[in-house]
Amino acid sequence: MAVFSILDLSPIVKGGDAAVALDNTRDLARHAERWGYHRFWVAEHHNMSGIASAATALVIQHIAAGTSTIRVGAGGIMLPNHAPLIIAEQFGTLAALYPGRIDLGLGRAPGTDQRTARALRRNMGDSGDSFPQDVLELQSYFRPVQPGQAVRAVPGAGLDVPIWLLGSSLFSAQLAAELGLPFAFASHFAPAYMQSAIDIYRSRFKPSAQLQKPYVAVGVNLFAAADDATAQRLFTSLQQQFLNLVRGVPGQLSPPVDSMDGLWSPDEKSHIDRSLSCSAVGSPQTVAAQLRAIEESTGADELMLTALMYDHAARLRSFEIASRLRAA
């Protein structure tokens, strides 16, 4: 049976602020630890008024300080935004503070729009084509220092922080297979290439010092509640968020509505339904069947559950329901 973990985007809801979002994230992590979730990740996004986890390493420290056993990490760090040495130092520091608990997932996209990417002060002449070299450079900083090595990560060297590759297309699947790294697919918002990416990753996987056989995690939106109708209503917050993204007006997370009818066009509905098709929404019985179907169809080793949910108490209940399904 697949391991259950959590990806949280630290949602900033309408009427709330980043401080509340970050406290809610740590509160969810504390509950997740008690409920037996394997790991808890946050993701790097920039210039998004509804997401509070831009300074991802700082958010990880906030979570790790408030928990004691659950693995904590990035799902992910958008490597094109950073020099590999900086990430090695940041995650080396986290690994020194919280030994054996820190994961580093790496993404190839900037996690933002092009104007904001320029504001991050990277050379915009660079592209994702440098991603493989940047991953290799980053890996080198976590290995023991070699004689004559001029540049080292302090902390970082010798700590062997586990690296994952993340993706929503085939590129990172191929690279993860080549480097022998675990692979997480962003199927919670871009499921189109999920099965193809997983198949390529498994078929081309080369064992490495970090990993001897393929290991796949898939993202799943989780909206579990007492009954199907309640869960579907909670799900409308995520649907509204995607509708705003489609229209180019991202914002803070909206409260749920009774119906999306009249809020979106048929074409918008079709597009969003496809984007969010890797979701488990409903009563405990409904969610159990949906999660089982996703696990069986993908053969995933790990389900990375996520929920952009307006009400924090409802979000806690949703993840508690899923934890009980896993334990049953």
Residues 84 and 10 in one domain: yes
| pLDDT number for residue 121 | 63
| pLDDT number for residue 110 | 65
Residues 28 and 120 in one domain: yes
For the chain, the domain total comes to 2
Q: Assess if residue 167 is contained within a domain.
A: no
SS (H, E, C) the chain: CCEEEEEECCECECCCCHHHHHHHHHHHHHHHHHHCCCEEEECCCCCCCCECCCCHHHHHHHHHHCCCCCEEEEEEEEHHHCCHHHHHHHHHHHHHHCCCCEEEEEECCCCCCHHHHHHCCCCCCCCHHHHHHHHHHHHHHHCCCCCCCCCCCCCCCCCCCCEEEEECCCHHHHHHHHHCCCEEECCCCCCCCHHHHHHHHHHHCCCCCCCCCCCEEEEEEEEECCCHHHHHHHHHHHHHHHHHHHCCCCCCECCCCCCCECCECHHHHHHHHHHCCCEEEECHHHHHHHHHHHHHHHCCCEEEEECCCCCHHHHHHHHHHHHHHHHC
Q: Assess if residue 176 is contained within a domain.
A: no
| pTM for this entry | 0.95
Q: Assess if residue 168 is contained within a domain.
A: no
Residues 152 and 231 in one domain: no
What is the pLDDT tens value at each position of the chain, 328 positions in all? 899 999 999 999 999 999 999 999 999 999 999 999 999 999 999 888 999 999 999 999 999 999 999 999 999 999 989 999 999 999 999 999 999 999 999 999 765 667 766 776 656 555 557 899 999 999 999 999 999 899 999 999 999 899 999 999 999 999 999 999 999 999 999 999 999 999 999 999 999 999 999 999 999 999 999 999 999 999 999 999 999 999 999 999 999 999 999 999 999 999 999 999 999 999 999 999 999 999 999 999 999 999 999 999 999 999 999 999 987 6
Q: Assess if residue 190 is contained within a domain.
A: no
CATH number at residue 105: 3.20.20.30
Boundary residue ending a domain (143, 161, 179): 161
Residues 227 and 156 in one domain: no
Residues 11 and 149 in one domain: yes
Boundary residue ending a domain (136, 161, 186): 161
Residues 1 and 116 in one domain: yes
Residues 143 and 39 in one domain: yes
Residues 34 and 125 in one domain: yes
User: In which domain, by residue range, is 143 found?
Assistant: 1-161
Q: Assess if residue 214 is contained within a domain.
A: no
Boundary residue ending a domain (109, 135, 161): 161
